[in-house]
């Protein structure tokens, strides 16, 4: 029987993929990969770009095309059987990648290209690709002695296993918790859309009419809007102790030992390669270059917000005391009373905007924005093969009406779908056999599902999330680079990868853009001017506290990987508590286990680099200031950003591209202005 994963396809044949197809497909493609490596590494061939680089690029692209839908399904349609196969496949691919990067013969083949006279004939994009390849070999221990190379390989394989274990524990512990509510009064304050999404069918009403789970939209709604303080406390305890030795499911899916082992192995790995710390190793590949430079940046930002942080927390405490006679704010009170204060100050509730952001209007306005600034047209394609009825697919066309790529849109929370929001690669742009393979992306969110009338209404925060992920998507699809490893979002330093996504968020606060993306779902009336004014006025509400929270994450992550030592500075929770004692003013419960659910750094690839969100946001605000000055729909500025940033992927040094667009070095002032922090407060 034909294996759909091994049959050439432009879009994944999701409906045809069965569990039995996965392992045979991966086994066969990995066999082909190794045969290709053996062939191009042969001393009998004349090493050139076309018979070394291109064959490896093409076979690795085939591998990625086959694995991509498998990995995607594991994230959006998770089940025990698929997870088990995915783990095996993931580890096989990890082993292959390590083997590839430690293959001496292949390394010599690439190195010979650099040393040949014909090297000067390569274009700059090819040279950048070759430079990256050789650097990856070195960072994979290619020059180590054999016993150390073997140890490197063992560490990488084990780290891959630990990251999967961490992720699975977090998913299982999140899905396991639930609470049945019979009395609707216990859910006082919760929006009807959320209540509908958690309502049980009448046939199950004997077990409770509403079922609470730890999916983020539900957790956020309870912790922010629910008047029931005890319920807020209960769900906060469950959420903040996931996958740990604390809370309602203590020790069932505990990530403690997994975290400790990862830190030990990361430290050992860095030492093997000659670095003082894992942070030093990771930042060697980033624009920041050195851990201390990042520490200095974070400390500057911390000092910049200090005055506004203290002002905001005093105002909140005074408000809560005066209006509710509450003397002490607990961890489960902070979001709730912040929302109450925000509503009091601005006489406005975020839920008032929800009816004005129906999915169709938001998407239509977003696509109009992209057309106006980049000249890009986006058109929905119907009748595509998919894995769920809610999934949509869109084709992307350039100004000459040429198809240049596409993306899947998977917006809504559902059972067995991982929480959060992300963009991922389906296929990369690539030229092979004279034809261009189009870049395809996945955009995945976990918004509140459509109501009983199948109408999907977004909050403004969800709109911002959509714009964020769409920024990643555009970075991937609009690329002009035809080498997969440096096209789109590939080959980009991680501390820059969030730049185009955070850049897109800025439009969500512009009145003219809001008019494009909004309209009442029943009447199409615009948002009333007084409500819109209040929303815009609330933009900088508690912005310094938001930055402080990001600084807490960033300092914890960097300190953990910069200062960790197997004999000292190894207590993860103590490191976190020390940072919180120094900078945090938000209350935490003793059972809080942030590290156990901090998937960005223990299973998501951001280890030692969580600072990237703040680092990239400085660049995003600085770049957006050019639009702010010259018009937010300015097509000339849009084309400049497209040509100098989005189209070039990882083909050039990023700061060179950025300065070419901006005309100067970046600075922190635009970010402070965006967040309502006076420059002289630094």
Catalytic residues: 469
What angle do the packed helices 635-644 and 654-662 form, to 10 degrees? 160
Strand 403-412 and strand 440-447: the pairing is: parallel
Tokens coding 313: 């927390």
Contacts of 577 (CB under 8 A, 6+ apart): none
Q: Within 13 Å and on the Cβ side, how many CA atoms surround 390? A: 21
CB 217 within 8 A of CB 193: no
Lookup result for tokens 């040393």: 115
Lookup result for tokens 């310094």: 544
Give the dihedral sign, CA 178/182/188/194.
positive
CA distance 222 to 639: 43
List Cα–Cα distances, 485 to 131, 141, 490, in angstroms.
12, 20, 5
Nearest to 275 by CA among 262, 285, 284: 284
Give the dihedral sign, CA 561/565/568/572.
positive
Q: Which residues of 181-191 are buried (b: 16+ CB within 10 A; e: fewer)?
A: beeeebbeebb
CB 489 within 8 A of CB 496: no
Tokens coding 643: 């040509």
Nearest to 366 by CA among 489, 539, 518, 478: 518
CA distance 253 to 255: 6
């Amino acid at each position: 029987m034909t294996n759909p994963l091994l049959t050439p396809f432009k879009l994944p044949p999701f409906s045809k993929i069965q569990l039995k197809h996965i392992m045979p497909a991966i086994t066969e493609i990995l066999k082909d990969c190794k045969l290709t490596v053996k062939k191009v590494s042969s001393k009998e061939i004349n090493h050139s770009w076309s018979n070394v680089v291109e064959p490896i690029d093409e076979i690795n692209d085939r591998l990625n095309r086959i694995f991509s839908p498998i990995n995607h399904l594991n994230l959006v349609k998770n089940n025990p059987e698929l997870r088990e196969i995915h783990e095996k496949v993931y580890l096989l691919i990890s082993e292959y990648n390590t083997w590839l990067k430690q293959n001496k013969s292949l390394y010599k083949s690439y190195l010979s290209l650099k040393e040949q006279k014909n090297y000067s004939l390569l274009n700059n994009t090819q040279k950048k690709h070759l430079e990256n390849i050789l650097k990856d070999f070195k960072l994979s221990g290619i020059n180590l002695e054999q016993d150390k190379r073997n140890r490197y390989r063992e560490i990488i394989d084990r780290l891959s296993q630990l990251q999967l274990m961490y992720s699975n524990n977090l998913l299982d512990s999140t899905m396991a918790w639930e609470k049945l509510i019979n009395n609707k009064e216990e859910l006082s304050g919760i929006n009807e859309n959320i209540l509908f999404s958690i309502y049980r069918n009448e046939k199950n009403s004997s077990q409770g009419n509403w079922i609470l789970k730890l999916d983020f939209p539900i957790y956020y709604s309870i912790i922010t809007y629910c008047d029931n303080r005890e319920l807020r406390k209960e769900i906060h305890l469950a959420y903040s102790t996931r996958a740990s030795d604390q809370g309602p499911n203590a020790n069932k899916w505990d990530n403690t030992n997994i975290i400790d082992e990862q830190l030990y192995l990361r430290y050992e790995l860095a030492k093997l390669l000659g670095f003082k710390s894992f942070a030093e190793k990771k930042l060697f590949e980033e624009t920041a270059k050195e851990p201390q430079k990042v520490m200095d940046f974070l400390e500057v930002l911390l000092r910049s917000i200090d005055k506004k942080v203290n002002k905001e927390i005093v105002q909140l405490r005074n408000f809560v005391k005066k209006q509710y006679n509450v003397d002490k704010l607990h961890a489960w009170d902070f979001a709730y009373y912040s929302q109450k204060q925000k509503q009091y100050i601005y006489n406005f509730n975020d839920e008032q905007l929800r009816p004005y952001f129906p999915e169709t209007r938001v998407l239509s306005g977003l696509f109009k924005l992209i057309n106006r600034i980049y000249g890009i047209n986006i058109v929905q394609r119907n009748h595509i093969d998919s894995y769920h009825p809610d999934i949509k697919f869109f084709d992307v066309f350039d100004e000459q009406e040429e198809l240049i790529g596409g993306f899947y849109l998977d917006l809504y929370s559902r059972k067995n779908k991982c929480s959060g929001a992300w963009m991922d690669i389906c296929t990369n742009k690539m030229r092979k056999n004279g034809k261009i393979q189009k870049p395809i992306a996945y955009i995945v969110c976990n918004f509140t599902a459509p109501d009983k009338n199948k109408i999907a209404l977004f909050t403004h925060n969800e709109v911002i999330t959509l714009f964020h992920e769409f920024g990643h998507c555009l970075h991937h699809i609009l690329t002009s680079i035809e080498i997969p490893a440096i096209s789109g979002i590939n080959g980009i330093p991680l501390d820059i990868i969030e730049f185009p996504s955070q850049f897109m968020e800025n439009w969500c606060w512009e009145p003219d853009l809001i008019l494009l993306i909004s309209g009442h779902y029943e009447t199409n009336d615009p948002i009333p001017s007084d409500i819109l004014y209040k929303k815009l006025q609330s933009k900088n509400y508690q912005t310094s506290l938001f930055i402080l929270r990001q600084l807490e994450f960033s300092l914890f992550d960097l300190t953990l990987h910069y200062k960790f030592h197997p004999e000292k500075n190894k207590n993860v929770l103590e490191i976190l508590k020390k940072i919180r004692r120094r900078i945090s003013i938000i209350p935490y419960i003793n059972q809080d286990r942030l590290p156990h659910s901090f998937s960005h750094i223990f299973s998501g690839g951001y280890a030692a680099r969580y600072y990237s969100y703040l680092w990239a946001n400085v660049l995003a605000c600085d770049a957006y200031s050019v639009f702010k000055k010259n018009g937010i729909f300015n097509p000339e500025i849009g084309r400049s950003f497209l040509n100098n940033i989005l189209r070039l992927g990882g083909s050039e040094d990023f700061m060179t591209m950025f300065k070419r667009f901006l005309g100067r070095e970046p600075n922190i002032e635009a970010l402070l202005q965006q967040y309502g922090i006076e420059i002289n407060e630094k």
